[in-house]
Amino acid sequence: MIEAYRDKKIAVLSPVAWRTPPVRYGAWETVASNIAEGLVARGWDVTLFATADSITKARLHAVVPKGYEEDPGADAKVAEYLHLSEVFEHAGEFDLIHSHYDFMALCFSELVDTPVLTTIHGFSSPQIMPVYEKYRDSYFVSISDSDRAEGLNYLATVYNGIDLSLYPLIEEGGNDLIFLGRIHPDKGLHLAIEVAKGSGRKLEIAGIIQDQSYFREQIEPHLDGDQIRYIGPVDVAGKNRLFANASALLHLNTIPERFGLVLAEANAAGVPVIAMDRGSCREVIADGETGFLVNSTTEAIDAVNRLSLIDRKNCRLRVQTHFSIETMVSGYEQVYRKIFEQ
* Distance (Å, whole) CA 101 – CA 110: 15
- CA proximity to 156, closest of 171, 166, 170, 143: 143
Q: How would residue 25 be classed by pLDDT, with cut points 50, 70 and 90?
A: confident
Q: What is the pLDDT of residues 240-284, one digit of tens each?
A: 999 999 999 999 999 999 999 999 999 999 999 999 999 999 999
Q: What is the pLDDT of residues 216-240, one digit of tens each?
A: 999 999 999 999 999 999 999 999 9
Domain residue extents for the chain? 2-161+324-340, 164-321
Helix extents (H) in 149-272: 189-199, 212-214, 236-244, 261-268
Q: What is the pLDDT of residues 162-218, one digit of tens each?
A: 999 999 999 999 999 999 999 999 999 999 999 999 999 999 999 999 999 999 999
* Distance (Å, whole) CA 173 – CA 240: 11
Average pLDDT, integer, range 327-335? 98
Instruction: Quote the percentage of the chain above a pLDDT of 90.
Output: 97
Architecture of domain 164-321: 3-Layer(aba) Sandwich (3.40)
Phi, psi for 158 (deg, rounded to 5): -125, 115
What type of residue is 63?
V
Q: How would residue 124 be classed by pLDDT, with cut points 50, 70 and 90?
A: confident
Those residues whose C-beta lies under 8 Å from the C-beta of residue 4, and which sit 6 or more positions away, are none
Average pLDDT, integer, range 130-146? 98
Asked if 118 and 112 count as a contact pair (C-beta separation under 8 A), the reply is no
Strands 273-276 and 116-120, how do they pair?
unpaired
DSSP structural state of residue 56: -
Same fold, 2-161+324-340 and 164-321: yes
Q: How would residue 4 be classed by pLDDT, with cut points 50, 70 and 90?
A: confident
Phi, psi for 60 (deg, rounded to 5): -105, 125
What type of residue is 6?
R
Q: How far is CA 13 from CA 2, 36, 65, 142, 314, in A?
A: 22, 10, 15, 16, 34
Q: How would residue 7 be classed by pLDDT, with cut points 50, 70 and 90?
A: very high
Mean pLDDT of the chain: 97
Q: What is the pLDDT of residues 77-121, one digit of tens each?
A: 999 999 999 999 999 999 999 999 999 999 999 999 999 999 999
| Three-point CA angle 43, 49, 54, nearest 5° | 90
pTM of the model: 0.93
| Fold adopted by 2-161+324-340 | Rossmann fold (3.40.50)
